[in-house]
């Protein structure tokens, strides 16, 4: 249990950094080294398993390709026309405004599906590099020097859906001027790396149409995704696997997510019903 005064100080520090980022254009994304939470696992806000696929589908429909007549260099427009031509299998000469409208970007879907696979923290979304993408082996490989909150090299498997999304995004990524000589996998519209605030803003945009099932009055942030992934792994795969997947130093941290979620409760109810039938 963490003293409430410590939590208030931590919130004050976060507010100061947000103010600095807004007024002075800095890019602070501070998080306390240790988990400061007064709540136990059952009280954590987390994304339910039934929301994972709807969230990915919301990402697929978000953020279409640049408008054909938007302000971009002729070289960038030419590269985008080449990319769309190859993607749709049409002659480059036929690629115009309508084809640009049809070509939704794979940036946001790739961000979401990687996070659903690996439980990325917001700061990790901002620091993820193209060099980490081992698509041939369907893995995300984070070298020791880039690891956050842990000390070792980190390898995690990716679903085929995630690998496909990343392949399409990395091909699209090469078309944009702002990624020239940049190592980050994803950049914001202003060509800055993603932070907690920008990740939360993006998530709220994805939830605007109401297609993602979120419990009423639940506070949603990017950590809601991470907590949802952690809850599912801890309950259905096991806390030790979840610990490795989430890069927790201590199993005690992972155990906070081990509680009876809705899916576990439903399974328990069905098991009890089946047991009752057998006894009868």
Mean pLDDT by 10 residues, the chain (280 residues): 54 75 76 53 71 94 78 89 87 90 88 94 93 94 73 81 96 92 93 94 91 84 90 76 67 62 47 41
**Is there a single domain that holds both residue 264 and residue 127?**
yes
Contact 193, 184 (CB under 8 A): yes
Asked whether residue 163 is assigned to any structural domain, the reply reads: yes
* 134 DSSP β-pair partners: 139
Site of tokens 């795969």: 237
**Is there a single domain that holds both residue 225 and residue 113?**
yes
Q: What is the per-residue pLDDT for 189?
A: 84
**Is there a single domain that holds both residue 125 and residue 182?**
yes
Q: What is the per-residue pLDDT for 259?
A: 58
> How many structural domains are present in the chain?
2
154: enclosing H helix or E strand = strand 154-157
Asked whether residue 137 is assigned to any structural domain, the reply reads: yes
**Is there a single domain that holds both residue 205 and residue 237?**
yes
Q: What is the per-residue pLDDT for 275?
A: 37
**Is there a single domain that holds both residue 127 and residue 202?**
yes
Supply angle C-alpha 114, 146, 225, rounded to 5: 30
**Is there a single domain that holds both residue 3 and residue 59?**
no
Asked whether residue 167 is assigned to any structural domain, the reply reads: yes
Contact 27, 72 (CB under 8 A): no
**Is there a single domain that holds both residue 111 and residue 5?**
no
**Is there a single domain that holds both residue 1 and residue 133?**
no
**Is there a single domain that holds both residue 34 and residue 110?**
no
**Is there a single domain that holds both residue 31 and residue 52?**
no
Phi–psi pair at 224, nearest 5 degrees = -60, -35
Q: What is the per-residue pLDDT for 106?
A: 93
| CATH number (domain holding residue 120) | 1.10.443.10
Residues contacting residue 128 through CB under 8 Å, at least 6 positions apart? 114, 120, 140, 184, 185, 186
Residues contacting residue 262 through CB under 8 Å, at least 6 positions apart? 48
Chain centroid, CA 280 distance in Å:
48
Tell me the C-alpha to C-alpha distance, in Å, between residue 131 and each of 15, 92, 126, 191: 33, 30, 14, 18
Q: What is the per-residue pLDDT for 12?
A: 72
Sign (positive or negative) of CA dihedral 47, 15, 120, 164: positive
Asked whether residue 81 is assigned to any structural domain, the reply reads: no
Chain centroid, CA 261 distance in Å:
21
- This prediction has a pTM of 0.69
Asked whether residue 95 is assigned to any structural domain, the reply reads: no
Asked whether residue 164 is assigned to any structural domain, the reply reads: yes
What burial class does residue 262 get, using C-beta atoms within 10 Å of its C-beta: 0-12 exposed, 13-18 middle, 19+ buried?
A: exposed
Which residue range(s) make up the domain with 130?
39-63+104-279
For 123, the token pair is 């700061």
What burial class does residue 151 get, using C-beta atoms within 10 Å of its C-beta: 0-12 exposed, 13-18 middle, 19+ buried?
A: exposed
For 60, the token pair is 């697929």
Q: What is the per-residue pLDDT for 262?
A: 53
**Is there a single domain that holds both residue 136 and residue 236?**
yes
**Is there a single domain that holds both residue 1 and residue 58?**
no
How far apart CA 52 and CA 74 sit, in angstroms, is 39
Asked whether residue 96 is assigned to any structural domain, the reply reads: no
Contact 88, 102 (CB under 8 A): yes
Query: Which of the 8 DSSP states describes residue 232?
Result: H
Asked whether residue 98 is assigned to any structural domain, the reply reads: no
């Amino acid at each position: 249990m963490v003293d409430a005064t410590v939590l208030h100080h931590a919130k004050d520090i976060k507010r100061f950094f947000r103010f600095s980022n807004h007024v002075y254009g800095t890019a602070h994304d501070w998080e306390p080294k240790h988990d400061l939470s007064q709540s136990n696992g059952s009280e954590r806000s987390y994304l339910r398993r039934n929301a994972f696929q709807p969230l990915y589908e919301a990402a697929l429909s978000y953020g279409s390709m640049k408008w054909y007549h938007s302000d971009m260099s002729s070289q960038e427009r030419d590269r985008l026309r080449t990319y769309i031509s190859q993607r749709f299998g049409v002659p480059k000469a036929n690629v115009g405004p309508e084809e640009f409208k049809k070509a939704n970007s794979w940036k946001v879907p790739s961000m979401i599906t990687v996070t659903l696979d690996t439980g990325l923290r917001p700061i990790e979304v901002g620091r993820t590099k193209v060099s980490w993408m081992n698509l041939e082996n369907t893995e995300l490989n984070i070298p020791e020097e880039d690891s956050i909150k842990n000390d070792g090299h980190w390898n995690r498997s990716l679903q085929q859906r995630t690998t496909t999304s990343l392949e399409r995004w990395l091909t699209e990524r090469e078309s944009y001027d702002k990624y020239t000589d940049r190592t980050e996998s994803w950049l914001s519209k202003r060509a800055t790396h993603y932070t907690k605030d920008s990740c939360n803003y993006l998530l709220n945009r994805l939830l605007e149409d109401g297609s993602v099932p979120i419990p009423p009055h639940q506070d949603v942030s990017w950590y809601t995704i991470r907590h949802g992934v952690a809850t599912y792994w801890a309950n259905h795969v096991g806390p030790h696997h979840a610990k490795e997947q989430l890069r927790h130093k201590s199993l005690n941290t992972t155990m906070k997510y081990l509680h009876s979620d809705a899916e576990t409760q439903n399974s328990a109810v069905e098991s009890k019903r089946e047991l009752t039938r057998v006894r009868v």
